[in-house]
Amino acid sequence: MSPKKDKKNKKFDSEDKLELAQIIAERSEKITNLTESVGDAFLRVLRWLSAWFDRILFNPRHAKLVAFAVALLIYFAFNVSASTPSPVNQARQIPDVPVVVKYNSEMYEVVDFDEKVDVIVFGDYSDISMVNPQNDLKVELDLSGLAEGTHQVNYKTNITSARIRTTITPASANVTIRIKEAKRMTLSTEFVNQKKLGSQYVLGTPELETQDVTIKASKETMAQVAFVKALIDVSGQTEQFTTDAEIVAYNQQGERLTTVDVLPKTVKAKVDVTSPNKTVPIKPVFQGDIPEGKAIASLSMDNEAMTIYAQQSVLDSIEEIKVPIQASGLTKDTKLVHNISLPSGVRHGTVSKVNFDIKLGEGETKKFDDIPILFVHNVNQLKISPGTSGDQKTATTTSLEVFGTKENIEKFKPENVKVYIDMRDIEPGDNQEVKLYVEYNDPTSSLYSVKSTKETAVFSFRK
């Protein structure tokens, strides 16, 4: 660009700036004049209101009106203040709050205090309703710093809010603090929750990791300890298991002594779980006589045998499960359902009931002679000889009377009948009259009524 053109542009810029300054000055003057006008108008209004208020307030004609207005103002001011609700104190009772005792439990035993107390909280409803008995409220009996002896100590709550007050019933306790002693004791065991163990299972003798434990208690409590047990939970066990058994001290009445410390608190216990069982026949036993000379022609059952579960010693003593049937109630062919009662010591059986189908026929009696008399359970190793009366054959044998249907009697096997004397309780002596027992060990034994013609026999027994 040429110098001539630059000079011309600078001239135009100066003229523009001068014109802009004049415009700004004119507008500022207008704004100032407007502000002064508004201010003057506002002052005139205030002076008019002030003059009007003075004429009203200090005019004797308006004095009553002014007094009435002031009275209304005071009345509403006081009533509004009185109608504003003020906080109202309320009470809330919280029963059975657990007491936490603060003391040296390793050294001392504490008795004669309340395990639970009742607490009443006072305050505004919104405050006391927020108190949660499970989480917020705690009652403490602080025995810190107290030595052996009896002390009266107040219960205290953990509520520190100035807006809530509390009272505790009872307010204090006369606690007795005793020094603990230590003693070694031998453990015994007890199975718990045996009802939750399958009835077909048998528990072995527990093996404990340790047989002795240390107990700590005051002299007075120690005198009450009768035994210490390891409690072994057997619920749901089906095979050998190892578990941590809780150790508990008991008094002579079998009550837990909760103030006794046991070290250790648990012990490892190993227990064998077995399932001894035996399959035995189910044998119906007819009690009494069938009316009208009838006899059992045939008998069928839906279960002729069952498996029983028990200790091995119990199983060894059981050869059959007997089901008693009242023969006097049989007057015609009958179908019966009988529940099975398990012998003493049997924990479980695979059959709980049996269905019988019984058919009757005309009965008759047949006699079988020269059945030998046997001797069993001679635990005292006695020597046996016939009594002095009668010959030896008559003394050592008997006859059987067998009642049944003709068809069944033809199949009867007298060699399967055992007539015997049980010598378990017999003492040495001469010419003793002893009872005869009859057993018919045959699957068809229920079809017959078998009796010995002699109920007793005479024998001499010597060492």
Peptide bond into 206 cis (omega under 30): no
Place of tokens 């359970």: 377
Q: What is the pLDDT of residues 53-62, one digit of tens each?
A: 666 666 666 6
Fold category of 363-462 in CATH: RNA Polymerase Alpha Subunit; Chain A, domain 2 (2.170.120)
* Distance in angstroms (rounded) separating the CA atoms of residues 223 and 279: 51
Do 89-170 and 181-274 come out as alike in CATH topology? yes
Q: Which class would CATH give 89-170? A: mainly beta
Place of tokens 């307010």: 171
- Report which DSSP code applies to 329: G
Q: What is the pLDDT of residues 66-82, one digit of tens each?
A: 666 666 777 666 665 44
Domain ranges of the chain: 3-60, 89-170, 181-274, 277-361, 363-462
Please check whether the domain covering 181-274 is classified as CATH 1.10.357.10.
no
The pLDDT, as a whole number, for residue 348 is: 92
pLDDT over 90, % of the chain: 63
* Distance in angstroms (rounded) separating the CA atoms of residues 246 and 231: 5
* Distance in angstroms (rounded) separating the CA atoms of residues 448 and 411: 11
The pLDDT, as a whole number, for residue 12 is: 44
In contact, 112 and 96? CB cutoff 8 Å = no
- Which CATH architecture group holds 277-361? Beta Complex (2.170)
The pLDDT, as a whole number, for residue 28 is: 65
The pLDDT, as a whole number, for residue 8 is: 44
CA-atom Rg of the chain in angstroms: 54
Which residue positions in the chain have pLDDT lower than 70?
1-29, 39, 49-50, 52-71, 75-88, 388-393
Strands annotated E in 210-302: 212-218, 227-233, 241-250, 261-263, 266-271, 273-274, 277-287, 294-301
The pLDDT, as a whole number, for residue 349 is: 94
* Distance in angstroms (rounded) separating the CA atoms of residues 146 and 104: 10
Q: What is the pLDDT of residues 355-364, one digit of tens each?
A: 999 999 999 9
Tokens matching residue 23: 């415009």
pTM beyond 0.85 = no
The pLDDT, as a whole number, for residue 260 is: 94
Tokens matching residue 105: 């439990």
In contact, 431 and 387? CB cutoff 8 Å = yes
Tokens matching residue 143: 């025995």
